[in-house]
Amino acid sequence: EAGVAQSPRYKIIEKRQSVAFWCNPISGHATLYWYQQILGQGPKLLIQFQNNGVVDDSQLPKDRFSAERLKGVDSTLKIQPAKLEDSAVYLCASSLVYPGTGGGYGYTFGSGTRLTVV
């Protein structure tokens, strides 16, 4: 099966500019996640979608970050305006949901978008 697709692979922007990332999850995966991974750290969850609804966005800096998943498939993550500390790899993941199992069975990550803000 095809994996989680992300684009672009790399992006360099100046601070205060805007940027958008795209993700296409595995077909049939209802749950989609965006993670931010700063160099030397583990991935940190930014937002979780279940179909096209937001389940958790408690760690999303909403003053500058936004995300949508309009048709319950593809998703975009936007940063506007970008700051230097937003330099990181942005990972998209998707998973199946099996009630009662917990933990997002079948978690699959995309290759990520490496963002550098200068």
Partner 1 sequence: GIQVEQSPPDLILQEGANSTLRCNFSDSVNNLQWFHQNPWGQLINLFYIPSGTKQNGRLSATTVATERYSLLYISSSQTTDSGVYFCAVPTNRDDKIIFGKGTRLHILP
**Which CB atom, from 48 or from 79, has the smaller least distance to partner 1?**
48
Q: What are the φ and ψ backbone dihedral angles of 86, each rounded to 5 degrees?
A: -80, -5
Q: Which stretch binds partner 1 (CB under 8 A): 17-25, 67-75, 79-87, 98-106?
A: 98-106
> Tokens representing 11?
């992006």
Quick check: 104 binds partner 1 (CB under 8 A)? yes
SS3 79: strand
Quick check: 22 binds partner 1 (CB under 8 A)? no
Return d(Cα 84, Cα 5) in angstroms, integer.
Answer: 26
**Which CB atom, from 36 or from 79, has the smaller least distance to partner 1?**
36
Interface with partner 1 (CB under 8 A), residue total 27
Q: How many residues does the chain have?
A: 118
Q: Which stretch binds partner 1 (CB under 8 A): 15-23, 60-68, 74-82, 89-97?
A: 89-97
Return d(Cα 96, Cα 19) in angstroms, integer.
Answer: 29
Quick check: 97 binds partner 1 (CB under 8 A)? yes
Return d(Cα 75, Cα 21) in angstroms, integer.
Answer: 8
**What minimum distance in Å lies between the beta carbon of 5 and partner 1?**
13
Quick check: 103 binds partner 1 (CB under 8 A)? yes
